[in-house]
Amino acid sequence: MDFDLESIKKYYGFRSKKEKLFQDISEEISEDLNLDFLFFKLNKTNSKIGKQYFYSKFRIIETEQDKQLQEYTEYFTHNNSIPVEQELDKLNKSKDYEILDLILNDIYVNPKYLNYAKLSIALLFVIVILGFFAKQMLLFLLPLFMANAYYHYANKNYVEYYNLIISRLHKTLTVAKNIGRNAYFAKEYQSIPLKKLKGTFWTSNVSVQLAKNEFLIFFWLITELLKIAFNLEIFGFSRKVKILNAAKPELLRVYEYIGKIDTANNLSKIKNDYPNCTPVFVDKKQIEVQDMHHPLIDDCVTNSLDIENSSIVLTGSNMSGKTSFMRCFAINVIFAQSFGFCFAKAYKAPFMKILSSISIQDNITESKSYYLQEVLRIQHFLNETPQFQLVLIDEIFRGTNAKERIAISKAVLKAINTDHHIVFVTTHDLEIAHYLEGQQYKLFFFSEEVDKDEIKFTFKINPGINTKTNAIRILEMYNYPEHIISESYGHLDS
């Protein structure tokens, strides 16, 4: 499996700088929701471009849903995808990750080499003309050839690097053209003006193939000598760069065309592998989700939730499923809003941004403690916005003492629960939970059974509050000394 996440993130990095995005999911939120792990589990795209495009959809929620992506997904759900996959497979080389760099960044031709090439051609012309009158002048062709060879090889690594990627760009254009022959995808392909690129990059592909094939090495040698003698490489490269730099909008559209088709095919596979539904979006503070499951968890226990004009408090022991439930719902929000389906039997909720405080850690490099990190993160949640926002907080303010934690949590959670905020908060402090019940929060809990030497989690959400305790019992299960167990029960009773 390809784990080159830095290269995969390139298109996301480009898209995240664009304006008019509904939400760019930050690195912190992505880590909280384990989005990178989810991407690698669900990714079955065929091309490097597809991987980059699919990943960007995890992290960027548009102001409007991509209807064309959904239509393409529906097409692959009901039609044979093998011919398209065979084309996409041709764009799965490591250098294909750099096609996007070629499109987004300007390429430069070293003026020193280009100016020399022009001077060399002029000298060649002069020497040949004078050679008709004085044949000894033709002897100057040898030092000119040697000088050409020096500049040719001094610039060769740079030119060959880009020629290799340009050859992959040529392959990309060919793949797009072949996919565009499918009547369903023809309209979008034909809307991209590519006439000025016709035949521009094929020479890069030919050069790469000649150099790789030992049976064609003789032809490669002939072309190499011609390139040196007439500076063909620098002139040809200069022409390609000029056209390439002028055609970036069209090339980006080709890139996105392929990425969208590959992503749509991948989404059709996901829909085939997991139970799913079409989301319903409402313009009010409401969540109604039925038999929701988490795609990262095999044999996942499904859960349902039905709330209106309220937020929720989740209680229960560690590992009982509280945090997984929050992540599960957030992932369903992303899929509903980005892809037009989600992992549930039914889904109804507003179109909303996601805010989270789950996997916070001390930041040693910035001298920020866990508590300070959490304070700064949650401070952003206090800002009221016209858009609905899903706010996920795991064990609020657990980085400070119990007395102040309870006091601060009550005040902050009351303030965050506005008309456009739907808050999911987990806590072990039952005093906080009871207080919030009177502040437009509904209480839910996850539970487990301790049977002899085994803990059995149900992973089912239940209305109300968890009054059972089993922390000391777990110490017994793992053979803590008897005097510690007895003293713990004594402190509990007192």
Amino acid type, 265:
N
pLDDT of residue 317: 84
The count of residues in the chain is 494
d(Cα 168, Cα 175) in Å, to the nearest integer?
10
Confidence band, pLDDT 50/70/90 cuts, at residue 385: confident
- Distance, CA of 91 to CA of 165 (rounded, Å): 12
Quote the CA–CA distance of 236 and 284 in Å, as a whole number.
Answer: 60
Q: What is the pLDDT of residues 6-22, one digit of tens each?
A: 999 999 999 998 778 99
Dihedral, CA atoms, 267, 28, 314, 318, nearest 10 degrees? Answer: 100
pLDDT at 141 over 60: yes
Closest by CA position to 444, among listed 320, 282, 279:
320
pLDDT given at position 156: 85
Tokens 């390609």 -> residue: 240
Mean pLDDT check: name the lowest of 334-343, 355-364, 471-480.
355-364
- Give the Cα separation of 284 and 422 in Å (integer): 10
Average pLDDT, the chain: 89
Asked whether residue 446 carries a pLDDT value surpassing 90, the answer given is yes
pLDDT score at 91: 96
Q: What is the pLDDT of residue 164?
A: 86
Residues 6+ apart with CB under 8 A from 449: 455, 456, 458
Q: Assess whether pLDDT exceeds 60 at residue 176.
A: yes
- How much is the pLDDT for 57? 95
For 62, which DSSP code? E
Average of per-residue pLDDT across 210-217: 59
What strand order describes the sheet that includes 462-463?
Answer: 352-357, 388-394, 421-426, 311-315, 441-445, 462-463
CB-CB contact of 45 with 266 (8 Å) = yes
Distance CA 433, CA 426 (A): 9
pLDDT of residue 366: 55
Q: What is the pLDDT of residue 240?
A: 84
Residue 263 has pLDDT above 70, yes or no: yes
Of 99, 114, 95, 96, which is closest to residue 242 (Cα–Cα)? Answer: 114
390 — phi, psi (to 5°)?
-95, 120
Tell the residue number behind the tokens 């939730």, with chain if given. 305
pLDDT at 368: 63
300-355: pLDDT as tens digits: 999 999 999 999 999 988 888 999 999 999 999 999 999 999 999 999 999 999 99
Q: In this model, does residue 367 exceed pLDDT 80?
A: no
**Residue 252: its pLDDT value, please?**
95
Pairing assessment for the beta strands 311-315 and 388-394 based on DSSP bridges = unpaired
Closest CA to 94 of 2, 217, 225: 2
**Burial class for 456, CB neighbours closer than 10 Å (0-12, 13-18, 19+):** exposed
Handedness of CA 426, 431, 432, 434 (dihedral sign): positive
- The answer to whether the beta carbons of residues 152 and 223 sit under 8 Å apart is no
In the block, which residue shows the tokens 């062709």? 141
Which long-range CB contacts under 8 A does 374-383 form with residues at least 24 apart?
A: 374/399, 377/28, 378/412, 378/416, 380/355, 381/355, 381/357, 381/416, 381/421, 382/412, 382/415, 382/416
Mean of pLDDT values over 383-390? 89
Please give the DSSP secondary-structure letter assigned to residue 344.
Answer: S
> Among 47-56, 298-307, 354-363, 381-390, which stretch is predicted with the lowest mean pLDDT?
354-363
Its pTM stands at: 0.89
- With the CA atoms of 263, 268, 272 and 273 taken in that order, what torsion angle do they form, in degrees rounded to the nearest 10? 0
Paired tokens of 235: 């002139």
Cβ distance 294 to 327 under 8 Å?
A: yes
Interatomic CA distance for residues 230 and 210, integer angstroms: 19
Q: Which residue has the higher pLDDT, 492 or 392?
A: 392
Distance CA 81, CA 265 (A): 7
For residue 334, give the nearest of 135, 59, 88 by alpha carbon.
Answer: 59
pLDDT of residue 443: 97
Given a cut of 90, whether residue 454 has pLDDT beyond it is no
Q: What is the pLDDT of residue 406?
A: 93
Q: What is the DSSP track for 136-186?
A: GGGGGHHHHHHHHHHHHHHTHHHHHHHHHHHHHHHHHHHHHHHHTTSHHHH
Report the share of the chain in percent with pLDDT over 70.
Answer: 94
The owner of tokens 């499109």 is 103
